[in-house]
Structure 1
Amino acid sequence: MHADSLRAKEDCSVPETLPSGSLPTGFRPDSARRRPTPSGRRTAVRGSLALSAAVLTVSVLSGCGSDTETAGAASANTYSVETELGTFEAPTDYERVVVTSTALLDSSVAAGVTPVGSPMSFAGLPDYVGLDDDSVTRIGDSDEEIDLESVAALEPDLILMNASSGAGLDDTLFDEYSDIAPTVPVVVGEQDPKGLAAQVGAALDRTAEMDEAAKAYESRAADLKARLADDPEAAKPVSQVRLRPDEVRVMMEETNAGVAMTDAGLTFAPPAEGASVGDGGYVETSLELLPGSLGDHIFVYSTEEGVVDEVADSPIWQSIPAVEAGNVHTVDFEAWMRGQGYLALNTVLDDIAAAYGKQLD
């Protein structure tokens, strides 16, 4: 809980409303420095802050009789979440969760929690999460375009906020989110879907449920690996290719889908001679260099509509050995590239099984 909030409990002589910076909703670590908040971002949530401050005044004054009792009650109604950015408190009785990244949507659903709000592209929710678009409210078109007013209107009990590895709270919208509801940061973008799932499980206090999701995935991966072990086609090297209008990225093992491909026992074709794998787990190249650098099976996708079909008609693409052999498998970029959780990993397993003509439970 905020150090400011605790000091307020110690001094009960003046029954005044606490400033919004002292609201306990965010449960910000004492070691984290608050940064000035742009006035434009405050406007969206100002109404809810006034109500929260009024409620807090009552809560603080009613707790003045015994600091020990108040502290005990708080700990009974919250749980602690240790993150890369500090330790945060979240309410045990949450019912309405908002996630600020589609990467967090996957793992929330896998843990048995359907968020009331999430970013959503023009195409709607990713098919692989298994939710209808109208079951979740759009709070922005992407992770970088969150509408704070939409978040506040949903009256969440808990917010899971995406954060980049190495970032501090001052580099995020933690202050804005925590003025709306208790907020827990989750590090995304590390090409570590299993690690992200574990973070979300802890943030939702559903570690046991996430462990079950992990066990179910590992069992399916082991089953597929066993089924592919006797298939000579599956022993041949593979490639994962992301097509873009101006470049090609050959995605390697250390990517979200690469994790599932490796778990299924597939072997990646090595990067082209002289090429190196970047921090994102991919090799940046061009269409002209693909014919001699890809595996015998290619899993291909693009985030841009029509690009795969356009490239597929080019003479260079048609000259790639895997293309000539009919071993190109077009897959969903949402699960293969953006997906960061067990729902996406299971979808990748399904696509691999289909590519090799296997049945997977």
Structure 2
Amino acid sequence: DERQMTSCFTSAALSLFYFVTGASQVPNFPEYVEVGLVDELQITHYDSNTRRLVSKQDWMNKVAEEDPTYWEDESDVSLVDQQTFKADIETAKQRFNQTGGFHIFQKMYGCEWDDETDEVNGFHQYGYDGEDFLVLDVKTETWIAPVQQAVPTKHKWEIDKEDLAYKKYYLTQECPEWLKKYVEFGRSSLMRKDLPSVSLLQKTPSSPLTCHATGFYPDRADLFWKKDEEELHEDVVKGEILPNHDGSFQMSVDLDVSGLQDEDWGRYSCVFHLAGGQEVSKRLDKRDIRTNWKTNDGAASLLSVWIAVLAVIGCIIGFFVYKKKHPKGKVETLLSSSGSLMCVC
């Protein structure tokens, strides 16, 4: 689960991460899949069906301008990793005394770089069937084994000091350099920041009040309710960040207003916060709430006009249908005393 494995990431830094998934006996899914992400934007893809590493962003093709054999060389590296991963998942199954069924073995590695402080953090960890299996402590160059079945691997890998030193060098030196290069290539996409439109929605008078923000980018953002200057946590339900069709994102947060006094409404506001410090705030005002249970006077008048228009159209259609069936019939259009149109044949 990528969401679980990225729970340790900070939101302020830029990131380069690779997620590797090995599958055993999983129907309609490749045995091996590898994806690369820069700041949560997918940049590369490789799987055991195609056996080719491919670019997922146009600006990533600039890498080949510097190194024409880049994609071919990296495809060969991924193929070796694929074979290694297949052996690793069989070892894990033996450790857990498993012979059949489908199983997932994952690896996540990469780095975060804060472009303001120049601080770098490296990550390298493994998961098996959705649980942590091994986690590298980059500073101490030791492996942490959350489960007993991973202890033999921990001891074996910690003997190889040269490999540990290389992993630390890659995560703290080489990875950040690649990240900086990718950010420069895709700056227009990666550094994009869009603020959302924020709306207040309510289905019925007894429903929670929803603050909905849509059209923001990137998805490192937060949406919350405040009373005066204090963030609210009680009577609040926050939804997940969801993608829009245009690549932007949306999210919502509900507030229970059933016990809210009229004089207190102005003390509440919905605040959207985008990573980097930009904010949009919308104060709670009944006049701004969009509902499907009431309309203002203008909307009511417009609705009446449409009803009248539809009535006229109905009369015209009825007239032509009647004339077609009764060429010699008599049709009269009367106006009732209430002002509504009536068609009488």
Which structure shows the bigger proportion of residues in strand conformation? 2
TM class, shorter-chain normalised? under 0.3
Structure with more of its chain in helix, by fraction: 1
TM-score by length of 2: 0.23
Which is bigger in relative contact order (C-alpha 8 A, separation at least 6)?
Answer: 1
**Larger-gyration structure (1/2):** 2
TM (norm. structure 1) is 0.22
